[in-house]
Amino acid sequence: MTDDLPTTFPIFPLDRVILPPEILLPLHIFEDRYLKMLESVREKGRHIGMALPLEGRSVAEEWAPPIHPIVGLGKILRVRENSDGSRDIVLQGVSRMEILEELPSLEPYRMVRARPMPDVLSDEDLFPRIERLLLRFQTIEESEMPKLKNHAASGLIDQIMLSAPIGFQEKQKVFAEPDVARRLSLLEELIIRD
């Protein structure tokens, strides 16, 4: 899978957005620089990196805010062109990526060189701990739990993280951890207060 991933791609810094693998993210693209980025990636690979600005920084206040070095790489699944020139797209997360460097770009959007961060899997059965979090923080009935045992632990942890009642900087800390067991421990530390 990692052989098919690009090592250079544009990034789209956005406040309050994290894109883990397999997650679908709808976006409304209207800024000229990102419309241009969209046209460029539609011709080559259809990949965009979603980047969260560092704490205290915001795309609303800065053209190119500093970003976290771990980003979510997404692939465009759908594009709808609107009459006002904007686009509605759906990205599907495909990989965590570690930015190695930001590249000089003649384009109005930012480009990076990055490498995949594959999950480090655990021999431990993480499902009992995941089940505890799902029952506590999700609207999932206990009778539905057996169906979830076949899902990858990393995907379930990512889903809990996205909906957890914690800030986006805390979510980024969890998202950036490649070790799945450690990712779960970080999430538990952040959301279990008793």
Are 172 and 102 within one domain?
no
**Of 116, 141, 156, which residue constitutes the final position of a domain?**
116
Overall average pLDDT of the 84-109 stretch: 96
Any domain includes 51? yes
More confident residue, 1 or 51: 51
Are 108 and 133 within one domain?
no
How does pLDDT run across 154-188, given as a tens digit for each residue?
Answer: 999 999 999 898 999 999 999 999 999 999 999 99
Are 19 and 108 within one domain?
yes
Residue 57: per-residue pLDDT: 83
Are 42 and 68 within one domain?
yes
- The number of distinct structural domains making up the chain is 2
How does pLDDT run across 113-151, given as a tens digit for each residue?
Answer: 999 999 999 888 898 898 888 877 665 667 777 777 778
Are 106 and 12 within one domain?
yes
Are 109 and 150 within one domain?
no
Are 134 and 56 within one domain?
no
Query: Predicted confidence band at 194 (pLDDT cuts at 50, 70, 90)?
Result: very low
Are 133 and 183 within one domain?
yes
Return the number of other C-beta atoms located less than 10 Å from residue 24's C-beta.
12
Any domain includes 183? yes
More confident residue, 122 or 68: 68
Query: Percentage of the chain surpassing pLDDT 70?
Result: 94
More confident residue, 74 or 138: 74
Any domain includes 14? yes
Domain, as residue range, for 149 = 127-191
Are 133 and 107 within one domain?
no
